[in-house]
Amino acid sequence: MTIPMSAPDITEAERAAVARVLASSTLALGPQLAAFERAVARRVGAAHAIGVSSGTAGLHLCMIAAGVEEDDLVITSPFSFVASANCILYVRARPLFVDVDPHTLTLDPERVAAAVQAHGGRRRRRGRLRAVLPVHVFGQPCDMDPILAAAAREGLAVIEDACEAIGAQYRGRPVGALGDAGVFAFYPNKQLTTGEGGMIVTNRPGWDALFRSLRNQGRDVFDGWLAHTRLGYNYRLDELSAALGVAQAGRLDELLARRERVVAWYRERLGRLEDVALPTVGSWTTRMSWFVFTVRLRRPGLRDSVIRALERRGVPARPYFPPIHLQPFYRARFGHRPGDFPHAEAAGEQSLALPFFSAMREDQVDTVCGALAEALAEAAVTGRVAPRRASA
C-alpha cells in the first residue's frame, strides 16, 4: 500500500469549475476571484478579503500595511514555517522571537506581553516595535485575547498568520479576523486548496484598498491604464485558482469534518503507544482546523531513526518544524543559538508529522499506526531502530 504524505481532495465540482474558466475569456482579475473573496470574507466574518498569489505574499503585504520599516521589530514565533519570519525580513525589519506554550506550541501570551513591555514605548537604536505576528500553527488558534490586549496597550498592529488554520475558531470566533488583518494559504496540502494562492482578510477599509493596489503593481482603482500610485507587486490570484477556491470553499465544512474523522482514528490507535504524545488542543480552541497530524516522541534522539524505519515500510513522515531561529540563515544573520527558545526547540526535536489528508482511509491509518508501533518496539529492544530485514 502506497500512502502519500498529503493529497488534495478534488472532486468533479472543482474540475468543472476550472473548465468553465478555461472556456471563458477572463483568466485574471475576474468574477471567480470576486466570488472567492466574498466566500472567505463571509466565512471568517471579515468586511474585506483580498486574494493573493500565496500566503507568503499576503504576509508581506500585511507588513507594508502595518507600517513596518527597516530595523523595526515584529514579535513572532520561532516554531512555524519559515515564511512567517521571512515576511518581516522582506521589509528589512527584524523578527523578535518569543517562545511558545510547551503544550499547544502557539505563542505564549505571557512572553508576548513581556516582550511588548520590554521593547515598546520608546525609540530604539535599531528601530521600534511595530507589530505582533501570532501563528495559528497546525490549525491551532493562539490564545488571542491576551495577545490583542498587550498589543493594544502599545498601539501595535496584530497580523494573524492563519495560513494553516482556515475554519479554526477561537472562543467561538473565526481566526483571521481577530486582529488588524489575517492571512490564509491554499497550498495543495492545506485544508482548502487552490494549488497556489492565499487570502488576506481585514476589517480596515483603508487596508482593503491598499492591499488591492499592492497586489496589482501599485495601481489604485482610480488610476489610469499603466498608471501606478505606489510601488507594488505581481501578487494577483488568477481566475483558475480562484474557481478552484470557490468550489473548495463550498465544501469547507465537509473537508474539515473529514480531517476530524482521520484525527479520531489516529487518536484511538496511537493513544495506546507509551512513547507517543498526542497533540494538545488549547482550552480556548472552539474548533481545531487540522492542517497536519503531528505527534511528539517522548524519548529524545529517536525521531530520525523512526522516520527512516517508517520509510522502509512505505510510510512517509516528516519533522515539523525545525525552529526558525536555528535555520542556518537566521543563525548566521542574527546569532541565534540552541537554548534560546527551549520549548520551540524541544518541539522541533520531538515532533513527527504522519500522513494526513481529508480523503485518507481507515485502513491507511491502520498501516501508518502499525508501522510506527513496529519502529518504536524495535527501539525499545535495541535503543535504536534496527534496519528492516527483507522478506525471504
Catalytic residue set: 190
Strands 73-76 vs 129-133: parallel, antiparallel or unpaired: parallel
SS (H, E, C) 281-306: CCCCEEECCCCCEEEEECCCCCHHHH
Q: What is the edge-to-edge ordering of all strands in the sheet holding 276-277?
A: 276-277, 293-297, 351-354
Give the whole-angstrom CA distance, residue 215 versus residue 227. 14
Strand partners, 249: none
β-pairing verdict for 94-97 and 73-76: parallel
- CA distances, 246 to each of 13, 20, 22, 30 (Å): 10, 13, 15, 13
173-174 sheet: strands from edge to edge: 173-174, 169-170, 285-287
| Diameter over CA atoms, the chain | 74
DSSP classification of residue 79:
S
For residue 225, how many other CB atoms are within 10 A of its CB? Answer: 5
How many angstroms separate the first and last alpha carbons of the chain?
19
Q: How far apart are CA 51 and CA 44, in angstroms?
A: 14
| DSSP-assigned states of every residue in 209-231 | HHHHHHTBTT--TT--TT--SS-
Q: Cell numbers 505563542 label which residue?
A: 107
DSSP 386: P
Q: What share of the chain is helix, strand, coil (3-state, %, to 5)?
A: 40, 15, 45
- AA letter at 20: R
How many C-beta neighbours within 10 Å does residue 392 have?
Answer: 3
